[in-house]
Structure 1
Amino acid sequence: MQPTIIMRPDISDATDKANLQVRLSGLELFWSHGAVRKTFILLALAVIWEVYARMLGNPLLFPTLTDTLVSLWSSVLNGILFERTWASLKILVLGYSVGVLLASALTILAINTRLGTDLLETLTATFNPLPAIALLPLALIWFGLGIGSLVFVLVHSVMWAVALNTHSGFRSVSPTIRMVGRNYELKGLRYVFKILVPAAFPTILTGLKIGWAFAWRTLIAAELVFGVSSGQGGLGWYIFENRNILDIPAVFAGLLMVIVIGLVIENLIFKTIERSTIQKWGVQN
């Protein structure tokens, strides 16, 4: 009687396949993080910047990323960039805060009264299409060469975007959630802050992001004009000042700082708020 031969899979091959699967799973897990993908995109853009600038070979037209970073580091060491950045951020926080408060007051009025709704819709239809920077000449006449002019244009750039998104979010709250608030006999501000705000916060946060972006762009643009008039200012004036002396790497360093601040606020402050509110409350879309 012939012995039966049982063919077994190669143990080494099976182990290699298992290890390969583990490695692939690890790479997939690593790539699944949004921060990793965003970092990869930023690194790719940095490489493209450096390669294109070297191919162009004209530092007055488009400096390399290396030269820009050297200029950025030099401005950080002498303190001028931090000084200009701090000047811009102080005005930004003031104008943004006032704009959000005014938008909140208008929205609360609109959600509680028909006249308030008509007022909000009329004002937003009238002033929202008007670019904030176009009001700067009038602001300089009304408020003079000071922080008041910049705050005025910032409030205009923030107010309507926040008000529109907040009002839209309030109106989209489901009747069931509204009924819960009525059953608990919530009225006025208690009804708004305990029922409407948590339910509509994804839309409200979107409005806050849009308002922040509008305010930051408007501030830098306004400082270019305001800096010329007053001889001082923040990042916008820093960019304009270096453009006048043809220090193009410093100009790009200023622009890079504007981008970095935008990335930090978007991915640190707003993402933290989102994790602490929207995801915690279970209203993430």
Structure 2
Amino acid sequence: MPPEVTTIDAAAASGQSEDRRRLEAGLDRLQTDQEHRPSRWRAFWTSVVPPVLFVLFLLLVWQLYIMLADPRPDRAPSPAAVFAALAEGWESGRVQLAVSTSLERGIVGFLIAIVVGTPIGLLLAEVSVLRRAIGPVISGLQVLPSVAWVPAAIIWFGLTDATVYFVILMGAIPSIVNGLIAGVEQVPPQLRRVGQVLGANRWQLATAVILPAALPGYIAGLKQGWAFSWRSLMAAEIIATGGSIGFGLGSMLQQSRELADLAGVLATILLILFIGILIELLFFGPLERRVLRGRGLLLSGGSR
């Protein structure tokens, strides 16, 4: 073989080897970037500190308004008066009882809504005839204010916990169903074909292929479902009082209103708001970021 040919072959082999090394380095770098996770302190700083600072800013504006405008205390109580009402409720045990009762009802009702709404959402997403027939009804139920169900629920179930749970379910299930349907509609058709090629039946295709692929939309539906659950719970507890219904945050809010205690009303509202923010920061926020990061839709710093 002529030496020129040997030299050319060696150069080509060297170039291919160099290209291979660059490709491997690029893949390693890509894998490293995907596996990189922010520290817990950084995650805390980016997710918890900003809303806390914003709340402190609002409290400062509130206090400045009280100092400058000097309104009537029964019309605009100061932050100190509100926190004093909250401390008084804590010392008497009313705050702990109300929070534990409402959280238990909200979480249990939400879990039941997930168990009921998930198969309904999968069924409607996979069976187009049912979706066309029932889908508009589900959307209508989602728009219907949950408080509208309270009078009917009281007539059906009386002043019992069943009334509260029924209102929660009617508020949360439509959101979960519509969220899952929206997530399924965004699943690429190629995934369905792959599952069919691998021999998956209709049930396996829905649970092992479609549902995991639809997780982002499903989680969005769960977040909205929890929001509707919490709002429905408060509406039911405010209206349905007495009987065997326990003392929740809605009852505490209504009781403060009957006593014309605006500081107590605002303290209860802040409690309800705080619990909603806490659930978002501790559960839904990390869950959503984990799912999006696993799909490469979220950078290591937590931004898209």
TM-score (norm 2): 0.77
Q: Is the 8 A contact 1:53 1:59 kept in 2?
A: no
Aligned partners of 1:147 and 1:231: how far apart in 2?
Answer: 6
Aligned partners of 1:231 and 1:173: how far apart in 2?
Answer: 43
Give the aligned length. Answer: 257
The equivalent of 2:86 in structure 1 is 72
C-alpha deviation, 1:108, in angstroms: 1.8
Q: Is the 8 A contact 2:216 2:291 kept in 1?
A: no
C-alpha deviation, 1:281, in angstroms: 4.1
Aligned partners of 1:225 and 1:53: how far apart in 2?
Answer: 32
SS of residue paired to 1:169: helix
The equivalent of 2:280 in structure 1 is 266
Equivalent in 125, 129, 142 of residue 111 of structure 1: 125
Q: Aligned letter for 1:100?
A: I
Q: Aligned letter for 2:108?
A: L
Q: Aligned letter for 2:234?
A: I
Gaps of 5+ in 2: 1-41, 299-303
The equivalent of 1:85 in structure 2 is 99
Equivalent in 238, 250, 259 of residue 236 of structure 1: 250
Change over 3 Å in CA distance of 1:69–1:133 after alignment to 2: same
Q: Is the 8 A contact 1:154 1:218 kept in 2?
A: yes
Q: Is 1:52 the counterpart of 2:76 in the alignment?
A: no
Q: Is the 8 A contact 1:107 1:120 kept in 2?
A: no
Q: Is 1:257 the counterpart of 2:280 in the alignment?
A: no
Q: Is the 8 A contact 2:160 2:245 kept in 1?
A: no
Gaps of 5+ in 1: 1-28
Change over 3 Å in CA distance of 1:191–1:283 after alignment to 2: farther
C-alpha deviation, 1:277, in angstroms: 3.0
CA deviation string 1:158-181 (max 9, x = no partner) = 011111111011011111222222
C-alpha deviation, 1:269, in angstroms: 0.9
Aligned partners of 1:229 and 1:140: how far apart in 2?
Answer: 11
Q: Is 1:224 the counterpart of 2:232 in the alignment?
A: no
C-alpha deviation, 1:34, in angstroms: 4.2
Q: Aligned letter for 2:74?
A: L
Q: Is 1:36 the counterpart of 2:46 in the alignment?
A: no
Aligned partners of 2:91 and 2:290: how far apart in 1?
Answer: 36
Of 118-127 and 196-205, deviating more is 118-127
The equivalent of 1:138 in structure 2 is 152
After the TM superposition, which residues 115-264 of structure 1 pair with which residues of structure 2 at under 5 Å, given as runs? 115-227=129-241, 232-264=246-278
Aligned partners of 1:217 and 1:195: how far apart in 2?
Answer: 33
Aligned partners of 2:131 and 2:245: how far apart in 1?
Answer: 43
Aligned partners of 1:56 and 1:166: how far apart in 2?
Answer: 50
C-alpha deviation, 1:228, in angstroms: 5.9
Aligned partners of 2:115 and 2:130: how far apart in 1?
Answer: 16
Q: Is the 8 A contact 2:47 2:281 kept in 1?
A: no
CA deviation string 1:43-79 (max 9, x = no partner) = 1111112222332432211211121112212222322
Instruction: State the superposition RMSD in angstroms.
Output: 2.4
C-alpha deviation, 1:257, in angstroms: 0.4
C-alpha deviation, 1:156, in angstroms: 0.7
C-alpha deviation, 1:126, in angstroms: 4.1
Aligned partners of 1:105 and 1:193: how far apart in 2?
Answer: 10
TM-score (norm 1): 0.82
Equivalent in 58, 61, 75 of residue 61 of structure 1: 75
